[in-house]
Amino acid sequence: MRGPLKNYRLGFDPWALALFSALMAPNLFWAAFPAPADVLQKPSATPALDALASACQMLAIAALILLRRKEGLPSLSRWAWAALGFLLLYYLGWALYYQGQAGPWAILLLTLPPCLSLLSFCLARKNSPALVPLAVFTACHLVYGVVNFL
């Protein structure tokens, strides 16, 4: 590859897939078993933004899972631990939401930590091609959460 991707090669990162799966698991559970006082079911007021967010999310996840640095994987870093910590905060948000607490803290925990987990993982893997779509996804996801639920 040439240009900005010259330091990357196609390769499968199972840890990226594992993180994405762990982030999506609560959404699949929620789709099958809606929570009490399920405010997340209301129609979105930001459909164009949601489409941009989905496209950026797909690009970012593809980059995280399919692009690897030529020099190999970095060792476990503070960014990898941060990714795990943000994943746990996200699960806390779902726990609050399923307890019927759909207030601002629960919504923020469902909005920011999954994005920050992916961004932290991206930094841990030094996967710069995923940074731009992840940053755009994070901004869109935050606006979506604030406009639609806060």
With 70 as the cut, is the pLDDT of residue 2 above it? Answer: no
List of residues 6+ apart from 106 with CB closer than 8 A: 93, 96, 97
pLDDT at residue 76 in the model: 76
Q: pTM for this structure?
A: 0.91
Region 45-73 average pLDDT: 93
pLDDT class of 133 with cuts at 50, 70, 90: very high
Crossing angle for the helix pair 78-98 and 14-32, nearest 10 degrees? 10
Residue showing tokens 């405010």: 39
Assess contact for 123 and 16: CB atoms under 8 A.
Answer: no
pLDDT at residue 44 in the model: 96
pLDDT digits (tens, 9 = 90+) for 65-116: 999 887 766 667 899 999 999 999 999 999 999 999 999 999 999 999 999 9
